[in-house]
Chain A
Amino acid sequence: MKRAFALMLLVAAPTAALGQRLDAEVDCKPTKHDLVYDCRVVLKEVKSGRLVSGALLSIGADMPSMPMAHNIKPVRAEPGAAPGEYTARIELEMFGDWALKLNVRGPVRDVIVKKFSAREPDR
Chain B
Amino acid sequence: MDEFALGVLTNIALFSFLALSAYLLLIAGEMSFGQQAFFGVGAYAAGIGTAMWGWPMPLAAAFAMALGAGTAWLVGLPTIRLRGLYFAMATLAAAEMFRILFELLHYQREIDGDLVGPDGTQGFRGIRWVLERGFEPHEYLALVTAILALVLAGFALVARSRLGARIRMVGEDPELAAVFGVDVARLKLGVVAAAGALAALGGALYAHHNTYIEPRNFDIMLGVHSLAYGLIGGLGTAAGPLLGVLIDIGLLESTRVFQGWRMVVFGGLVAVLLIVRPRGLLDEAVVNRIKRALSTR
Contact = CB atoms under 8 A, between A and B. Distances in A.
> Direct contact between A and B in the complex (CB less than 8 angstroms)?
yes
Contact of B143 (A8, A67, A97): A8
A67 B217 contact: yes
A71 B145 contact: no
Contact of A8 (B112, B146, B214, B248): B146
Interface string B203-217: 000100011101011
Contact of B132 (A3, A18, A46): A18
A66 B15 CA distance: 11
Interface string A83-123: 00000000001100101010100000111010100000000
User: On chain A, which size bracket covers the interface?
Assistant: 35 or more
Nearest to A8: B143
B114 A46 contact: yes
A67 B131 CA distance: 19
Interface string A4-29: 11011001101101101101000000
B206 A67 contact: yes
A74 interface: yes
28 contacts: A3-B142, A4-B145, A5-B146, A7-B146, A11-B58, A11-B130, A11-B135, A15-B132, A18-B134, A21-B112, A21-B113, A64-B216, A64-B217, A65-B219, A67-B206, A67-B217, A67-B222, A68-B206, A69-B225, A70-B253, A71-B11, A71-B254, A99-B214, A101-B212, A103-B3, A111-B128, A111-B131, A115-B123
